[in-house]
Each structure stands twice: as C-alpha cells, then as structure tokens.
Amino acid sequence: MPYTPENSYDNDQKIWSGEPVVKYFDPDLSIGEIIFHEMRRHPQLTAQISATEGTVLTRGELLANAMRLASYMRSLGLLQSDIVGIIGRNTTHMLAVAYACFFNGIAFHSLNITYDRDTIEKIYKVTRPSIIFCDGDEFEKVRSATAELDVKIVTMRNHPLDSIKIDEVVATPIEENFQPAKLEKGNDQTLAILCSSGTTGTPKAVTITNSRHILAGNYHLTTADVQYSHNTLDWITGLLTTITSGVFSTTRIIADNAFDPAFALRIIEEYKVTWTIQPPSSMALMINCPDFETCDMSSLRCYMFGGSRAALEVQKGIRSRLSHDCLQFVYGFTELGAMATINCHFDEKTGSVGQLVNGLKMKIINDDGESLGPDEIGEVCIMNNQHWSGYYGNEVETRNMRDSLGWYHSGDLGYMDRDGFLYIMDRKKEMLKYQNIMYYPNDIESVISEMPQVAEVCVFGIWSNIFGDEAAAAVVKKLGSELEAQDVVDYVRSRTDSKYKQLNGGAVIVDDLQRSANGKTNRMANKAYFLHLKNRS
Amino acid sequence: MPYTPENSYDNDQKIWSGEPVVKYFDPDLSIGEIIFHEMRRHPQLTAQISATEGTVLTRGELLANAMRLASYMRSLGLLQSDIVGLIGRNTTHMLAVAYACFFNGIAFHSLNITYDRDTIEKIYKVTRPSIIFCDGDEFEKVRSATAELDVKIVTMRNHPLDSIKIDEVVATPIEENFQPAKLEKGNDQTLAILCSSGTTGTPKAVTITNSRHILAGNYHLTTADVQYSHNTLDWITGLLTTITSGVFSTTRIIADNAFDPAFALRIIEEYKVTWTIQPPSSMALMINCPDFETCDLSSLRCYMFGGSRAALEVQKGIRSRLSHNCLQFVYGFTELGAMATINCHFDEKTGSVGQLVNGLKMKIKNDDGESLGPDEIGEVCIMNNQHWSGYYGNEVETRNMRDSLGWYHSGDLGYMDRDGFLYIMDRKKEMLKYQNIMYYPNDIESVISEMPQVAEVCVFGIWSNIFGDEAAAAVVKKLGSELEAQDVVDYVRSRTDSKYKQLNGGAVIVDDLQRSANGKTNRMANKAHFLHLKNRKNILLSQINT
C-alpha cells in the first residue's frame, strides 16, 4: 500500500527526502508580500473573529489595521534591523501587529506572558527591541524588565493609565501608496524570533527564516477553512497559524483567555472550526471535560497535535469524536521554523510522527555520526536547504544545533521504518539508564497512561548511587477518579517483568504537571517538584 | 506630474519600457495550474452567473465541472498536441470547457458564430480539431464544414436530436486524484488559438502563448470584483475575461444573447458589475439606449474599451454616467496575446491609448526601420520577451508579424509623447492620400462624430484617377434624429479648409456599419457597401432619366 505523500529513500547515502517544495507563489515574494496581496485580493472575506472579545474583522479591515500599524512603525523610523517585542495573548489587534512587522521586514521577538521579570530582562537584553506590544496585565513587569532599554511600550488590552494604547496606534493614517517593504536580505532574512523550550536553562532566541517552508503541510487550506489555535505568537504553532491564515485567506478564530477546554469545545462547535493545532496537554484537558462527549466536532477536517507525545488513550479519545479521520501527529522543532513530519495514517502507523513534509531531507545518525538505515535508532537530523540565522547572539549554540553541512541535529532519538515513517523514541538527553540498561521515560508513561484513572503522567529519573536512574512518576488523575500513588507503582509492576522499567523511584499524585511556558511538559521541573513533595513528606 | 505606472525611456536606443512584470504566482505554473489551485482555494465563492440562463455556479462547482470535462477529454485519449474547437456563445458550461482545456494542456481554437460554413471549413482544415463544442444553433453548419475531419461535436445549447449534449459530457466521473497536466513545452506552449480580425481576407489562426502577460493590467482584481464582458472566447478580450476571472477568483457574469444594450445596462445595475471590457460599437449602442441616462452604473470601477477607436462623444457620454473616473482605453492586438497599453488619464491624455503595461518594451520605427524618438510618427512595435508560436501553419505571415529580434510589427502608425503615452493615428495600411497628401480616416471620423445626430461613422477612401483617395463616409444616425448625407458633407466642409480632408467621395446614411465577426468596424466592407449603394442610386437615376 503506497502512502501519500511519497517519501523517497537513498539507500547509499541513507537519506530520506520529502516531496518537492510546492510551487504556488513566486519564490522571490516574502511572507509579508504574500500576505499583503492575499489580503488585498480578498477584502470582503472574514479574517478574524475573537471568541472572547466579540470582534469581527474582514480581510480588508485587518489589512487596513496592519497598514496603519506598519505606517506607525515607519513614522518611528524603525529599520529592518530593528526588532519589535511582543508579549501578549491573542487579542483583536495582535494579528495586525504581526502583519505590520512582516510588511516592514522587521522581525518581532515574541515571549510568553508567563515569563518572569528576570527572564524577560535577560532575553530582551540580547535582542533589544525598539518597541514592545504587550497586554496591560504584564505592563509593569515588562516596563521593569526593560527599564535599561530605550523602548516604547504599547498595551493591547487592560490598559494602565500611563501606557500607549493600541487603539491610539491603530488610528495612524496609512502611508500614501503603501506597499510592503522589500527585504534587504531577501527571503534569508529573519521573519520572527521565538524562544526554544525552556528545558535547558534560559530560553534561547530562535530566529525563524522568512521562508515558505512554514507553509508546508498546509497548502490544502482554502477560504472555506476556519482555523483555531489557542497558541500565542511565541509558539511556533501560533506563528504557523498566524501565517497560514494570512496566506491562505482563512477565517481565524482567536481567544485571549487562558486555555479552557469547555470554551475551546464551544469555539469548535459554534464557529464550525475546520482546522486546529494543539499541544497534547490541551487535548488531555479536552477529553476530560464533561462537554467533550456531547460537543459537535463534525466540522473538523484537520486536527493537528504536536510538541510532545500525546498518550494513546488521549489520541483515541479525540479520534472517537471526530467525524473525519483527520487526527494528525506533527513533529518539528522551533529551530526548523516549520513542521518536519506529519502522520495522517493513525491506524496503520500508530505512534509514528509521520512522513517528511515537502522540501525536507532527513537522516538518522549514530553516536559516531554515521548515517543509519531503516529501523535503526539514532539521532534525527533534518535538512531544509534554507538559510538560518541561528540563535540570536549565540554562535556556540547555533553551531551545536546546525552543522557545517546544514543539518539540524534535533537531539531526538528515533528511527525511520521501511515505509518512510518516523518514530521518535525520546530526547537524546532524556534517555535514562538503570543498572546500565537504557530505557525511555516515554515507555513507562505509555504504560501508566493505560490506566483509566490517569489523565496525564510524567516520568523522570531519580538518581540512586547504587542503581543509577530510578524511574519515578508524577501523575494527574482524572476528575472524580480514585487513584493512589501505590496503585500506579503496582500497575507498572504488573505490566512488565523488567526491573529497570519499574517505578523504582515511586510516584506522586499531583493536581497538574509542571510545564514550560509553551505548555510542554517540563521533565526537569516535574522532577524537582517530585523531590520537593518527597522531602516534605 | 508623474503618471503611474512609470514608463521608462532609453534615449540612446529609443525604446520605451513598461514596469517590471508583476511577481505573484510561481513562474513555472501554467495558466491552467494557477486557475486550478485558485478555484480549489475558493470553493464557496460564486464563480459565474448567467444573466440569460439563470444558472449560478460556485468556484467548487465550476472546478468540478471543469475536472469532469477534462476527465472526458482524457478518456478520449486527447494529447497536448490535439486541438479542441470552440464555436459558441457564453453559455453555462463554456467556461468549464475552456478550463478543461487549460487543465489538460490542450489548446482550443475558437471561432466566431457568425463565420460562414466555407470559412469554418477553411480554418479548421488548418488546425484540425479532434472535438468541437458549439451551440446547437450552428450544429448543422459546423457538421457540414467539418465533414471531412474525424471530429466529435458536442452542443452547448439548443441541442439537435443527433448531437452529443454538454450535459451528458459534464456528467463524466472525475479522474481519481485529478491534477492539472504539466505542459510538455512549459509556458511556451500554446494556450489557445484565436482568429485575427478579418480585415485582410481569411482570418489567420493566431496562437496565444501560455504566459501570464495576459494578466498584465488586471492584478488589481479581487474576490470582491464582478466581471462582465459580452465578448466570446474567440475575442482576445473574451479570453482575457475568462482567464482573469479564474486566476483572480472574481464573479463572472455571462449572457448568451446577442448584444442588447438595454440588457447589458440591466446586467451592470443588477449584478453590481465592477469591471467590464467592451468594443466601441457596444459603447455607442449603450449611450444611444433610452435606459442609459437612468441606469445605475455606480458599481463600475474599471471600464475598459479597445479594439478600435471610440468617438470622443461616445467616451464622454459613458464617462458622464460613471461614478468613478475609471474609463480606460486599452490597446493591443491579438498576436500579442495581451494588452499592450492602458490609458487611465482621460483628462490629461485624451485620445491616447495609454502607457505600456508591465513587462513590455516598445519602439516607433520609420519606413527604413530606424527607431524614432518622442512625438515622431512611425509604426508601433512591441516586445514581450516571450515565445510566440505564430500563426498556426503560416510561416510567412508569422515572419511578417514578428521579426527575428522578437519585435511585433503592429501595422499601426502612432507616436509616443514625452510622458510615455502612446497615440495611435491609424493602421499603416489605412493611411490614405489625396493629391499626394496623406491623411487618416480617423481624423475625419472624429469631426463627423461631433455632430449630435451621429451615432457611428466609418470613413474610407474611394479611388479617383485624378485625385487619389477621396474620403467618403457611411454614417449611422442616432435614433429619432434627422440627418441627411449632404448635412454630413457640409459639416465636414465647415470644419476644415483642407481640401483633402473633405468628404470628396460623398456620404451615405446607413442603418448600421458593416463589421468583422469580432465586432470591429470593417472599413473594407463598409466601402464595398457604400459603392453598392452608390451604384444602385445611379441605376435609379438612369431609370428616371429614361
């Protein structure tokens, strides 16, 4: 059975290739130019609906707002080498701010609202934005963190008395004969700067290239599509939604509340959402929501998830309520600036993150850097034949991430099967050893997820001088369920004879898992929390 | 005052250039691929409304129909070297047939419904279509004309008993995983074949290249636009409307009736048409229509006319009823496969056909082939840096039309002013001489058009052994007006002292001017008609004297 799309494999070089890049827009056009013309071409279509603020904007209106904001930035004398800071929720004018940056060839650096003052100060000391758009909720924090920078701050909502309000800025007259700027460095120029997952100290400032690789896997979108993602612009998926909505002229549903599963389900039903992308944590919250079993999700035709592994039970739960077989596991990393693989074949390839998207190449390398063939486990490396400006102001980490030949070293261990489907085992650094036998936390997590009382789980290693990494678990039980920590330990013991895969370090029941700012489960943080609870008891 | 867009002029080479080609779609995509993806991307928008048949199609529906027709053609084994014949009005499924050809990389050869049997036979003997889509109205004529060809005939409307009906063909299942074909010759491949104006014998089969030059001047179109053109696919403007509607995802209004000015005005008002392109003859009919003064034309934002000169009075008449300053004179010729110039500055540049569109170059040359500078009259030559397959099966005429450097020789005389605006004086061949002084029929036509009783006029030369070309006129008077031929002669005499610009050959009042199949005024045909009327008059006089 051939799987579409076809991935081809070079047996000599041991390199897999996705299909050729999709040709649609002129290769010289920047993302900003494409969005500008697409919005101009569709003036009467609905561009954005805020489910929380109740605002509705046509493409013509959104374009006008973006041009006003771009004209404002131009009036400030901002150059393409300047950076705009963004720390905010998906409020009515956030999309226009992003598009204004694209139209001006100016990269925005987007941070998560949960970052503390010191982290913000540390990060923005690197990129030194000239102006920051943030919610009034974080105004004091941001002002304090950027006190040493010469920076303007505009608030998007909940405006304090002494901030510049977005409504004032969006009233700027549009420059006469407004046209999007030509990028000084062409499409090698940086489009945006996001932060990598905070699993290793201070988040790194990841530059995202102005390339249409970010569109890969989404060329099926039409003007009939309604996209909803709760992810903000500091997530690669939030950026992806912002760009695809502009390029493919879809209707984007936004909400500026904290993620609420009941509300998300209502959005999908009310606005007949056809496309969504979520982290597994949101999926887990949704299937545990009382409304999940009754909500009408028949409009969904593309339900993507990624960023980390979703428990099989969660995947099955979501899938059971979809009218179309459209649950897709996507894999990528922020540095790539796009998705790497998509799995549209759940039944045949359960657990796989899928096949390469258009325009990419992949190899699996062992510890000696040698390329491996099908079914051999090694580090996943991706090539996209595109310029990358690296981590802003961090040459060392940039070289670690991408080698001189242009391969990104994902740091993830996995293998390709003989049909060209990728399976991710774990992060290379998160491989553990018990009595010198390697094992993966994910394997134990999969087992624990089978327990009907379990909503979410995170497994990590607790160091023992005698045994090495002893697996331990933090478990979130389902609402209304009865579950004790010992039940979890007992269940894992009953499911495997291998001593090293037992919960030798024990388990704790917690209200929620510790997460990074971008919603990914943070193993280090959960481990620290586990130890804290153990010490307390 | 700078005029947008800017045309640049190379003073040494004496060449004018339009702005660079607009970059939007990937340069490798064919017109068919662009239309396919644009239709797929906009499934719920309205693609087409027939004002006469009452049908409405969404882009999703039109795409499905086009894929069905393309699948039908594929099932017949049609190759990219095959040709599809079209002879029909703008009926509900004509657009799908055109798109099916584009999706398959197959050129269609489109003829006008008014062509007689012998002309059709002569033309299609050259391109030898494998299948022809025509209206039932012309079925017998077409079948007779193509009796010697092995050709299938599908009827689009008014189906006779023994034809294949389009409704049967449009029921063909769509091929699985349907994708538009890759063009074997890339975008140098022929997209369509039209016929040149019939001013010189049998129409020539003009190949139109699969290039997005045809989009030039229309990149402003959006999904909010409503396009209406009565022109059928055998006109370059009919092809232009068909392509731009597909590429820019507009709503296209069609009608399969003979052009009726009252009906056209109703279409513009009812469907809030934003874009239209018309020949001057339709414009003249519209301003003479009683409904013209009351019809709501405020939706129009782009009113293009071209193909021949519109009398200034007609232009002013149309302009007085437009809510936006959007009357645009466009100039081009079928061989170019696109517009060459557009004039958006009526007030400042009255009578000009405008500035070069994106991607073109122009020079004005004298009889010795030397390039001329601003304000010097010569033959207009255009360069588009694109492949042209020429006149199908006619190498000689192809070389006459386009030289070895790639310049098209328009055969039109004109000059460029210092702002880069082109003025067309006349066709080179239609320049006349009286007592060895050159003059242009258009000059005299402009004068006659000033008469309030005059709706349309055509001036041509009647040969005199003594004087040379004596100007004569065929005049259509306005409805309800009083006008005698002598009035016209007298008026022209009063407006100029120059003997050679008088109507030395006289004038006749006619019901309508003689036109080519594409609606252009046919000077040769009007001249012949004039002579016919004169002869009949002389015979009558002779009989009276007897």
For the sheet containing B251-254, what is the strand order? B56-58, B46-50, B251-254, B226-228, B275-278, B302-306, B327-333, B338-343, B355-356
Q: Judge if B387 and B437 occupy the same domain.
A: no
Q: Do B37 and A25 touch (CB under 8 A)?
A: no
Tokens of B130: 């494998």
Best of B26, B28, B182 to disrupt the A interface (most A CBs within 10 Å) is: B26
Instruction: Look up residue B409 and give its two tokens.
Output: 């020789």
DSSP string of B504-521, one letter each residue: TT-EEEESS--B-TTS-B
More confident residue, B6 or A250: A250
> Which chain A residues in 5-24 lie under 8 Å from chain B, judged by CB atoms?
23-24
Give bridge partners of residue B469 from the DSSP assignment.
Answer: B463
Tens of pLDDT, residues B408-441: 999 898 999 989 999 997 767 667 878 767 787 8
pLDDT score of A88: 96
- Is the pLDDT at A121 greater than 50? The verdict is yes
Final residue of a structural domain among A224, A258, A292:
A258
Name the region of B355 (left: φ>0; alpha: ψ -120 to 50; beta: rest).
beta
Q: Is A413's pLDDT higher than 70? A: yes
Q: Which of B402, B422, B442 is the last residue of a domain?
A: B422
Provide the phi-psi class of A217: left if phi over 0, else alpha when psi is between -120 and 50, else beta: left
Closest to B78 (Cα-Cα) out of B160, B210, B172: B172
For residue A466, name the pLDDT band (cuts at 50, 70, 90): confident
Q: What is the DSSP letter of B335?
A: G
B182 CB near a chain A CB, below 8 Å? no
Do A522 and A396 sit in the same domain of this protein? no
Give, in order, the Cα–Cα distances in Å from B341 to each of A111, B198, B214, B403: 51, 23, 12, 21
Residue in chain B closest to A33 (alpha carbons) equals B24
- The Cα B362–Cα B354 span in angstroms is 12
Percent of chain A past pLDDT 90, that is, above it, reads 64
Which tens digit of pLDDT belongs to each residue from B469-488?
Answer: 899 999 998 888 889 899 99
Say if A61 falls within a structural domain.
yes
Asked if residue B374 has a cis previous peptide bond (ω within 30° of 0), the answer is: no
Instruction: Name every chain B residue with its beta carbon within 8 A of the beta carbon of A222.
Output: 40-43
Tell me the C-alpha distance between A237 and A243, whole Å.
Answer: 10
**In this structure, is residue A219 part of a structural domain?**
yes
Measured between alpha carbons, how far is B227 from B242 in angstroms, rounded to an integer?
9
B340: three-class secondary structure by DSSP: strand
Q: Which amino acid is at A52?
A: T
| Residue A345 and residue A236 in one domain | no
Tell whether B224 lies on the interface with A, counting CB pairs under 8 A: yes
Same-domain check for residues A245 and A281: no
CA A514 to chain centre: 17
Q: Give residue A410's domain range.
A: 259-429
pLDDT of residue A496: 80
For A234-337, strand residue ranges (E) read: 251-254, 275-278, 302-306, 327-333
User: Which of A25, A43, A45 faces B25 most closely, judged by CB atoms?
Assistant: A25
Domain boundary among A372, A404, A429: A429
What is the Cα–Cα distance from A132 to A455, expressed in whole angstroms?
Answer: 38
- Mean pLDDT within A277-283: 89
Would you give the DSSP letter of residue A358? T
What does DSSP assign to residue A354? B
Cβ density class B248-270: b for 16+ within 10 Å, e for less:
bbbbbbbbbeebbbebbbebbbe
Residue B412 and residue B454 in one domain: no
Same domain assignment for residues A242 and A290: no
Asked whether the beta carbons of A108 and A154 are under 8 A apart, the reply is no
Task: Give residues with Cβ within 8 angstroms of B507, minimum separation 6.
Answer: B472, B473, B474, B475, B485, B486, B488, B489
- Give the per-residue pLDDT at B511: 87
| Judgement on whether residues B408 and B441 belong to the same structural domain of the protein | no
Has residue B254 been placed in a domain? Answer: yes
CATH number, position B459: 3.30.300.30
Chain B CB contacts of A25 below 8 Å: 24-26
In the structure encoding, which two tokens stand for residue B86, read together?
Answer: 């079209």
**Which stretch of DSSP H or E encloses residue A277?**
strand A275-278
Query: CA B191 → CA B104, B128, B133, B153, distances in Å?
Result: 10, 16, 17, 21
Chain B partners within 8 Å of A221 (Cβ): 41
Give a yes or no: residue A472 inside a domain: yes
The tokens for B347 are: 């007030």
Distance in angstroms (rounded) separating the CA atoms of residues A342 and B439: 72
- Beta-carbon separation of B44 and A249 below 8 A: no
Q: Is residue B6 part of a domain?
A: no
- In chain A, residues with a C-beta closer than 8 Å to the C-beta of B41 are 221-223, 248-249
Judge if B444 and B409 occupy the same domain: no
Per-residue pLDDT of A363-402, as tens digits, reads 999 988 999 999 999 999 999 988 999 999 988 889 789 9
Residue A199 has a pLDDT of: 46
| Stronger pLDDT, A426 or B288, i.e. the higher one | B288
Q: Write the pLDDT tens digit of every residue in A55-69.
A: 999 999 999 999 999
CATH number, domain with residue A329: 3.40.50.12780
Claim to verify: residue A480 and residue A397 sit in the same structural domain: no
- In this complex, do B25 and A28 lie within 8 Å of one another by their Cβ atoms? no
What is the residue-wise DSSP string for B21-66? PPP-B-TT--HHHHHHHHHHH-TTSEEEEETTT--EEEHHHHHHHH
Q: Could B223 and A43 be called an inter-chain contact, meaning their C-beta atoms sit closer than 8 Å?
A: yes
Spatial separation of the C-alpha atoms in residues A124 and A108, rounded to whole Å: 11
The structure tokens listed for B491 are 């008026």
β-pair type (A302-306, A327-333): parallel
The pLDDT value recorded for residue B546 is 62
Residues forming a β-bridge with B416: B422
Q: Are residues A110 and A229 in the same domain?
A: yes
Instruction: State the average pLDDT over residues A240-259.
Output: 96
In a domain, A291, yes or no: yes
Q: What is the mean pLDDT of residues A247-251?
A: 97
Decide if B64 is inside a domain: yes
Q: Convert the pLDDT of each residue in A237-246 to its tens digit.
A: 999 999 999 9
Strand A56-58 to A46-50 pairing: antiparallel
Low-confidence ranges of chain B (pLDDT < 50): 1, 199-200
A226-238 tens-digit pLDDT: 999 998 999 799 9
Average pLDDT rounded to a whole number, residues A96-123: 93
A23 or B392, which is more confident? B392
Looking at residue B469, the DSSP 8-state letter turns out to be E
Give the tokens for residue A357. 């998207």
> Which residues in chain B are contacts of A28 at CB distance < 8 A?
23
Confidence tier at A1 by pLDDT (50, 70, 90): very low
DSSP assignment of A132-153 equals EEE-GGGHHHHHHHTTTS--EE
pLDDT of residue A2: 63
B296 and B395 co-located in one domain: yes
Q: Is B244 on the interface with A (CB under 8 A)?
A: no
Cβ-count burial of B13 within 10 angstroms (0-12 exposed, 13-18 middle, 19+ buried)?
Answer: exposed
Q: Determine the distance in angstroms separating the CA of A223 from the nearest CA of chain B, rounded to an integer.
A: 5
Q: Are B387 and B371 in contact (CB under 8 A)?
A: no
Q: Is the pLDDT of residue A136 over 90?
A: yes
- The residue of chain A nearest to residue B44, with distances taken between CA atoms, is A224
> CB of B81 within 8 Å of any CB in chain A?
no
Residues A463 and A396 in one domain: no
Total domains present in chain B: 2
Identify whether B128 is part of a domain.
yes
For B227, the enclosing helix (H) or strand (E) is: strand B226-228
In chain A, residues with a C-beta closer than 8 Å to the C-beta of B248 are 41
CB count in 10 Å sphere of residue A115: 23
**Separation CA B172–CA A284 (nearest Å):** 46
